[in-house]
């Protein structure tokens, strides 16, 4: 899908006065404190901050892994702040493509089977699931690795499988949790070049990271300190990159 085909005026994520607290022995811990955040279709956002800043909590809320203690959250136009666990799971599968630091691939399943997995929950016909997964793997440069098991792939290739798995449901957002954290610097650059390409195609991407060079790829940087957004700025446009060799 080209960037021109995306309605960039569409608000994909909207948080209003969102707080999240966790009970402790004699009190509670406030992880997020009245956060307001809006992300539009086609945006490319890095969420950064020191350990304990609330960025992981914010990622869990955006990804429908948790719900706010207070405030409102709309994902792709739907109010998801008070959904139950089943409703949250359905929303995750439909609207969010996750990319994790540790890849989270099923070790005894082929590359193709790993990418097909999220589509099973959508009750999609098997031939359509297979075709969609093959397209996603071709998109990330793994057309020749569809029958391989995860332990037969490099770290960069495994992360490409994880990106294909995230893409295959055609979600509203791609949400990455330290997606280059387990990769060497060269492979990290290749994976970030792939994210840059996906953004150029119009995908909405949100990356949680503590690495400044990763955040520099993004069009926008949101910085958290003590559960509050203290900075929300646009990066200077990145120069056009030649296509990187797949890891």
Beta partners for residue 152, in sequence order: none
- Does residue 245 register a pLDDT over 60? no
The reported pLDDT for the residue numbered 240 is 52
Assign 139 to helix, strand or coil: helix
Q: In 3D, which of 49, 46, 44, 81 has the Cα closest to residue 62?
A: 81
The reported pLDDT for the residue numbered 47 is 97
- Length of the chain equals 247
C-alpha span between 104 and 164 (Å, rounded): 13
The residue among 122 and 58 whose pLDDT is bigger is 58
What is the mean predicted confidence (pLDDT) over 73-100? 91
Express each pLDDT in 201-224 by its tens digit. 999 999 999 889 999 999 999 999
Q: Please, which pLDDT band fits residue 121 given cuts at 50, 70 and 90?
A: confident
Report the top-level CATH class of 8-22+32-233.
Answer: alpha beta
- Enumerate the domain spans of the chain: 8-22+32-233
Please report which residue ranges of 45-182 form alpha helices under DSSP H. Answer: 55-62, 85-95, 111-120, 126-139, 155-167
- Does residue 6 register a pLDDT over 60? no
Please report which residue ranges of the chain form alpha helices under DSSP H. Answer: 55-62, 85-95, 111-120, 126-139, 155-167, 185-200, 212-215
For all residues of the chain together, what is the average pLDDT? 90
C-alpha span between 49 and 52 (Å, rounded): 8
Tell me the whole-structure pTM to 2 decimals: 0.88
Q: In 3D, which of 230, 200, 242 has the Cα closest to residue 218?
A: 200
CB 156, CB 244: distance < 8 Å: no
C-alpha span between 236 and 216 (Å, rounded): 9
Express each pLDDT in 123-178 by its tens digit. 889 999 999 999 999 999 999 999 999 999 999 999 999 999 999 999 999 999 99
What is the mean predicted confidence (pLDDT) over 99-114? 94
Express each pLDDT in 42-82 by its tens digit. 999 999 999 999 999 999 999 999 999 999 999 999 999 98
Q: Please, which pLDDT band fits residue 110 given cuts at 50, 70 and 90?
A: very high
- Does residue 2 register a pLDDT over 60? no
Q: Please, which pLDDT band fits residue 5 given cuts at 50, 70 and 90?
A: very low
- Does residue 242 register a pLDDT over 90? no
Q: In 3D, which of 175, 180, 167, 174 has the Cα closest to residue 214?
A: 180
The reported pLDDT for the residue numbered 73 is 96
Q: 123-140 in b/e burial notation, b at 16+ Cβ within 10 A? A: ebeeeebbebbbebbebb
Question: How many CB atoms neighbour CB 111 within 10 A?
Answer: 25
């Amino acid at each position: 899908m080209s960037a021109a085909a995306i309605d960039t005026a569409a608000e994909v994520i909207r948080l209003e006065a969102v707080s999240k607290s966790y009970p402790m022995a004699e009190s509670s811990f406030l992880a997020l404190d009245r956060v307001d955040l809006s992300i539009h279709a086609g945006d490319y956002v890095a969420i950064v901050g020191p350990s304990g800043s609330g960025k992981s909590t914010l990622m869990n809320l955006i990804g429908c892994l948790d719900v706010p203690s207070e405030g409102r959250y709309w994902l792709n136009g739907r109010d998801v702040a008070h959904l139950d666990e089943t409703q949250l799971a359905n929303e995750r599968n439909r609207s969010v493509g996750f990319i994790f630091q540790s890849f989270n691939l099923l070790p005894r399943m082929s590359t193709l089977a790993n990418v097909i997995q999220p589509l099973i929950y959508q009750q999609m016909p098997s031939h359509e699931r297979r075709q969609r997964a093959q397209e996603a793997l071709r998109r990330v440069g793994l057309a020749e690795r569809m029958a391989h098991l995860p332990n037969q792939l490099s770290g960069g290739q495994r992360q490409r499988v994880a990106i294909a798995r995230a893409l295959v449901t055609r979600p509203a957002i791609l949400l990455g949790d330290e997606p280059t954290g387990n990769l060497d610097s060269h492979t990290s650059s290749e994976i970030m070049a792939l994210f840059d390409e996906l953004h150029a195609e119009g995908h909405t991407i949100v990356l949680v990271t503590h690495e400044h060079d990763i955040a520099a790829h993004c069009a926008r940087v949101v910085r958290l300190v003590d559960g509050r957004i203290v900075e929300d700025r646009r990066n200077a446009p990145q120069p056009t990159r030649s296509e990187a060799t797949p890891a």
